[in-house]
Chain A
Amino acid sequence: MVMFGYTGKILFVDLGSKTLRTEPTEKYAKDFLGGRGIATRILYENPDALVFMTGPLTSFVPSGSRMDVVAVSPVTGLIGGSSTGGEFPSALKFAGYDGIVITGKSEKPVYLRIENGEVSIESAEELWGLNVFDTIEALTHGHPDLRVACIGRAGENGVKFAGISFSHRNLASRGGLGTVMGAKKLKAILVHGTEGTKPYNPVELMSVFEEIQESIISSGEFLRFKDWHVNFIPTILKLRMPYFGDYEREWEKAEEAAMKAREWFEEHTVGRASCFSCPLRCWGLVKYDGETLPINLCQGTFPAATFTLKTEDPELAWRIYRKCQSEGLDMMSTVAVVAYASRLGLVELGTEEVLEMIEKIVTRQGEGDILAEGIKRASEHFGVPAVYVKGGMESWSSDVRPFVGSALISAVADSGSVNRALYGFPEFYYYIKKEQAEMMATRFVGDVEAAYPWSYSESKVRFAVLWENLHIIADSLGVCVIALLTTPLKLWAKAYEAVTGEKITEQELMTVAERTRTLERLFTLKHGDRKDDLSPRLFRDEPKLDREKLEGMKRVYYSLRGWDENGVPKPETIEKLGLGDLV
């Protein structure tokens, strides 16, 4: 059968036996759509796999730039999931594949070359040891249309929080996916595709495209991103998101550092950029020291260097950002680990020592060798307690203590930390846009309380579940969640129909999300421990978080998901979601 929207094939590469095969995407598409859904489904049966999966809308719609990456996280032993945009995901479809599943390990460093359906496994001996930027340069030199996914030295050396880099900017950062790639001795994947992708109804697609684009452009997000870089750092202080150093609540220089960073970005931003197909232009191009590099200012990049690492000097913060990008490090974890090291007296925050410490982690010298194992194992080694979320993953670069919804989600999440579930959750912007947060809560769950960061209400749990579902839908369709949240779900459903020729309702999209979410939980139960459903110790001890009430919210969460009071999916839920054959 010809599939529209999908290329129809998923590439399976076994690096141990050096064999290649394909599976029809059709096998999974109906129940799991694509992206995060299909990737989770494949991982469930192949826990050794590293899965890259685009969605049906990847390459077709505004902000349809994305791909999901999942593997078992070397830090948590649970699912490590992360999503990426840029040019690689659509290029993979243009080359004829919906996804790539890597199993086994190579003995020697290799890279995978995919050119319009032709696939080969090549030697990467000469690339091994190169950082991300040099690897991309070596592989694409003179060929601007080649797209690269690669690891830097961090992934090669088994640093537990290495990500997978897609060009100089996008990074599937969380959960140690680059560590998995490094363990497989897979340095890079090179993709070149000129075959294009075919929608079922191009005329209808152009019309939905226009509707979606108009919706995105008229959103607050589109306006906000105009001067995002310049404004973001002072804004996140007002949002009450950052923490400082090793989970300190105050830093007397925070305001000043934010203003300096703002001025610095004003001076050094030379342009704006987007991922494939996206009108949002959330990337800023920054020129510093003769080099132009893109940056997306989320809490976990430059702001984390500024606040968590108490870096007053924006130039130093930029060099920390550049160092993490070029080594292929998850910056959220890196700053958490370095800040923890400062408590041990191993590094002085706000100084050049931070860069030296990151180098030690990447090359695993001295204490860097222990810190590279992640914050949980380091804290066991040093005997000084640390804050971490489920399974030992370093926390999100924001303080969850003032935000009850995110404390809940960081306790129950099974795939990555809260940024995979709660980006854009209204409680986060309550302190700067009260009315809008209240309006959203009323509209979605019929209760204004769900907008209050401090609220433990049942409606807050319902809101969080809905938000998690929307994230899973975005990650499964191949659409950036930022854009998905700006636009009514029914338009995305309409786009899905124009692209694939198959009807889908909003309710059916929600069901796919529920199925995927429950499968993630089943994965945790198979490989992990549900006792981990606790928010981090230091967070819990904070008087602002009421442990009893949080336990109550968890019970509501479980029941909304159709799980029992221990967080185990009930047999009837498994049956209803059609997961019976898997368990």
Chain B
Amino acid sequence: MPYLIVHEDKCIGCRTCEMVCSLSHEGVVNPDLSRIHVLGYKGEKFPIMCLQCEDAPCELVCPMEAIHMQGGIRIVDDEKCIRCKMCTLVCPIGGVLYDYINHQMIRCDLCGGDPQCVKYCPMNVIELVPDDAVPEARKRGVRILYGEAD
């Protein structure tokens, strides 16, 4: 199953990914409603988004069993969701968000298989990879989390 990885060393912090994410999902430009977020860490910038965990804390914590995998993409069932926002607390990388304008949980849905951030990032920072790229991606994830990118 494919998911997104980040080549953080190439990022220029332009936030184009946030712009097109909110434009394509919400029809507005609003970095705060983007499902991908450009963070600064020790002077470097890079985007972070849901990494489609295997044993996903968001899914496990959900009291309504509203979160589940569908075709390799983890989605929230809006009917079942009671907006308790527990999933936003347990995600280790801030991958789930509460959309305070439309009052719903939002998260990276890989744009149904054609992620717009991948398409529009001018520096090719974000890549959709098949899951046999797991080992490399995991190492990258750890380096990002602990700020040890070289």
Contacts and interface: CB of A to CB of B under 8 A. Distances in A.
Q: Do A and B come from one complex?
A: yes
Interface of A: 59-60, 62, 90, 94, 144, 194-199, 202, 205-206, 209-210, 213, 216-217, 270-279, 281, 285, 292
A196 B20 contact: no
A272 B14 CA distance: 10
B89 to A, nearest CB: 20
A194 B26 CA distance: 14
Given A59-B19, A217-B122, A277-B16, 5 more contacts: A90-B29, A196-B22, A209-B20, A279-B123, A281-B123
B12 A210 contact: no
A274 B28 contact: no
Contact of B28 (A202, A216, A278): A202
B131 interface: no
Given A210-B120, A217-B122, A276-B14, A202 B45 contact: no
A60 B29 CA distance: 7
A196 B100 CA distance: 12
B27 A198 contact: yes
Given A194-B30, A196-B32, A213-B120, A62 B16 contact: yes
A199 B22 CA distance: 12
Contacts of A60: 19, 29
A202 B27 contact: yes
10 contacts: A194-B100, A196-B101, A198-B27, A202-B28, A209-B19, A271-B43, A276-B15, A277-B19, A278-B14, A281-B123
A209 B14 contact: no
Contacts of B26: 196
Interface residues of B, number: 29
Nearest to A63: B14
Contact of A273 (B12, B20, B23): B12
Contacts of A194: 30, 32, 100
A213 B121 CA distance: 10
A336 B29 CA distance: 42
Contacts of B14: 274-279, 281
Nearest to A279: B122
B42 to A, nearest CB: 9
Contacts of A196: 22, 26, 28-30, 32-33, 101
B28 to A, nearest CB: 4
B78 interface: no
Interface string B33-45: 1000000100111
A274 B30 contact: no
A206 B119 CA distance: 11
Nearest to B42: A292
B29 A197 contact: yes
Contact of B30 (A195, A213, A217, A285): A195
Contact of A274 (B12, B31, B43): B12
Contacts of A209: 19-20, 23, 120
A374 B1 CA distance: 65
Nearest to A213: B122
A198 B116 CA distance: 18
A144 B37 CA distance: 13
Nearest to B20: A206
B13 interface: yes
A199 B24 contact: no
Contacts of B100: 194
A272 B119 CA distance: 21
A275 B23 CA distance: 19
Nearest to B24: A206
Contacts of A271: 43-44
B19 A198 contact: no
B103 to A, nearest CB: 14
A52 B31 CA distance: 22
B1 to A, nearest CB: 26
A60 B15 CA distance: 11
Contacts of B20: 206, 209
Contacts of A202: 23-24, 27-28
Contact of A281 (B12, B32, B120): B12
A197 B28 contact: yes
Nearest to A94: B30
A278 B16 CA distance: 7
Contacts of B22: 196
A208 to B, nearest CB: 11
B120 to A, nearest CB: 7
A94 B33 CA distance: 12
A34 to B, nearest CB: 16
Contacts of B119: 210
A330 B17 CA distance: 33
Contacts of B30: 94, 194-197
A464 B16 CA distance: 33
Contacts of A278: 14
B40 to A, nearest CB: 6
A198 B12 contact: no
